[in-house]
Structure 1
Amino acid sequence: MAKTRIGISGWRYAPWRGVFYPEDLPQREELHYASRQFNTIEINGSFYSLQNPTNYQRWYDETPRGFVFAVKAPRYITHIHRLKNVEQGLANFFASGVLALREKFGPILWQLPPSFRYDEERLETFFSQLPHDSETLAAVARNHDRTIAKALVKADRKRSIRHAMEVRHTSFVNETFIAQLRRHGVALVVADTAGKWPFLEDVTASFVYMRLHGDKELYASGYTNAALNRWCRHIDAWRRGSEPKDATRCSNTPPRKRAGRDIYCYFDNDTKVKAPFDARKLAEKLG
């Protein structure tokens, strides 16, 4: 059966203390607390710097059974190298400890910078390098260099690895890109960014990945009941293997039919402590 996961992007935010987190909750227990409120969380620290197996193992241990992390890929690959000549960067990232998450290892999020224009050839090369199971990922990880002091390059068992891509340039609003994502089984992130960057709801994979950054003010505004009800309708259609009738799409070609699709939805409107409460409301509405 399709699974619906609603959560937050990151969990360590000073303004959340005493508002979402209890006043007397030690900072070291924030993930433990948040992972009992939601069934998924995006790991953001991996975007800014490579983590290590100890961190990933601790996060695994602190979260309950059935919980799943999404892992945001390093900006070193997406923003500095801009997906070009990234063989070493991929090996280092995969060796940094992500395999310690085991069954809690959810999708990998690849977020591109706003200045990154669509380049079919570069994307094709990049997508062809992405592993779609943990054993292949471990094989790539074994090519890590000396910058990885502590490496984890062995999978506990063969598991599927999912990938999602968030784009922020209007050049990606084209059917060629959508077809390319579908060929490689990569999900196009449904990103609500208060109109700042492209908003697309084309289904391109066996799952749907959503990032809700705020519909009126980026990273700040909360979602009204009407807005959350709209997301409920869309999520319900996607998880049943269908599509919302009012979805915003750039491709006229329908996706492959499925009995259902898993949903990963993360609220990133964190600056005014809206994210955890909006995530909770949406989860309650979806049952």
Structure 2
Amino acid sequence: MTTPGLIRVGIGGWTYKPWRGLFYPDGLAHRRELEFAARAVGAIEINATFYGRQSPKSWQAWGESVPDGFQFAIKGSRYCVTRPKLADAGEGIGQFLGQGLRALDEKLGPILWMLAARRQYDREDIAAFLALLPTRLDGLPLRHAIEPRHESFRDDGFFDLCRAHDVAIVFGDDDEYPRIDAGTASFGYARLQRMRAEVATGYDAAALDEFAAKAHSWSQAGRDTYVFLINGAKLRAPAAALALKQRL
């Protein structure tokens, strides 16, 4: 009998002014926002790592601010995924992994590699990039997810490459980019980006039920599952995450 995987529902980041008084209690110190958020949701996707290196002190502080069982998903550096050839990203990947994120230890969740919308599927280049992604960092197991944003990636060859490397293809609910639903890894990763401000929970009940069913199916197949409420009406992300978490 398959052991169900863990389901973590989360949000993107934790510093967002409109959440004060809506998600965060009035008067909560800014320095305690991460601590508060990490006790409300099961994971947070860090976006700042896409744009630049973080200090070892920051990684240490983040890890100490969240409870056991919580995990951060880390967005991979843009310097790795925006170069003309992904196959040339080896040095950048090494520098990215060496900036101090090892300090998170078991609180380190998947690393998300988000591709540019203009990048089309090139089997040879993608195969080389996936081969560059290490499975361990100083003994700590690593998980990788990739988010293609061009329709050309809806290709069985791409799916097979990801399966061979245990890389999850992001299931994205987005107005602009293709929704690819392919189970290619030992875990699942979803990014839900069509929340609406006029809906108190971001998504309506029918959509939340759909996403809950999908997360449940991944879990029942033995796959740890990460579901992030990210964009759209971002002010609704915490409420959407909590509503989805309640369903699960």
TM over 0.5: yes
Q: State the 1:269 CA deviation.
A: 2.6
Q: Distance in 1 between matches of 2:194 and 2:180?
A: 15
Q: 1:64 aligns with which of 64, 67, 84?
A: 67
Letter in 2 for 1:31: L
**2:46 and 2:75 in contact (8 A); partners too:** yes
Query: Percent identity, aligned pairs only?
Result: 40
Letter in 2 for 1:181: C
Q: Distance in 2 between matches of 1:80 and 1:52?
A: 24
Structure 1: which 4+ aligned runs deviate by more than 6 Å?
none
Match of 1:182 in 2: 163
Q: Distance in 2 between matches of 1:271 and 1:96?
A: 32
Q: 1:99 aligns with which of 82, 99, 102?
A: 102
Q: State the 1:215 CA deviation.
A: 6.1
Q: Distance in 1 between matches of 2:234 and 2:219?
A: 30
Match of 2:185 in 1: 205
Can you give the 5+ residue segments of structure 1 that lack an aligned partner in the other structure? 136-157, 242-259
Q: 1:275 aligns with which of 189, 214, 237?
A: 237
- Please give the secondary structure, in 2, of the residue aligned with 1:181: helix
Match of 2:24 in 1: 21
Structure with more contact order per residue of length (Cα contacts < 8 Å, sep ≥ 6):
2
**1:222 and 1:269 in contact (8 A); partners too:** no
**1:190 and 1:200 in contact (8 A); partners too:** yes
Q: Distance in 1 between matches of 2:246 and 2:132?
A: 38
Cα RMSD after superposing both structures: 1.6
Q: State the 1:82 CA deviation.
A: 5.2
The number of equivalent residue pairs is 242
**1:193 and 1:212 in contact (8 A); partners too:** yes
Q: State the 1:16 CA deviation.
A: 1.2
Letter in 1 for 2:247: K
Match of 1:146 in 2: none
TM-score, length of structure 2 as denominator length: 0.93
Would you tell me which structure has more helix in proportion to its own residues? 2
Q: State the 1:163 CA deviation.
A: 0.3
Q: State the 1:177 CA deviation.
A: 0.7
Q: State the 1:80 CA deviation.
A: 4.0
Matches within 5 A, 1:10-49: 10-49=13-52
- Please give the secondary structure, in 2, of the residue aligned with 1:51: coil
- Please give the secondary structure, in 2, of the residue aligned with 1:36: helix
**1:66 and 1:104 in contact (8 A); partners too:** yes
Say which is worse superposed, 23-32 or 78-87, in terms of deviation.
Answer: 78-87
Q: State the 1:44 CA deviation.
A: 1.1
Matches within 5 A, 1:96-245: 96-135=99-138, 158-194=139-175, 196-214=176-194, 222-241=202-221
Would you tell me which structure has more strand in proportion to its own residues? 2
**1:15 and 1:271 in contact (8 A); partners too:** no
Q: State the 1:81 CA deviation.
A: 5.1
Q: State the 1:84 CA deviation.
A: 3.7
Q: Distance in 1 between matches of 2:89 and 2:115?
A: 14
- Please give the secondary structure, in 2, of the residue aligned with 1:274: helix
Q: Distance in 1 between matches of 2:191 and 2:85?
A: 21
Say which is worse superposed, 80-89 or 206-215, in terms of deviation.
Answer: 80-89
- Please give the secondary structure, in 2, of the residue aligned with 1:19: coil
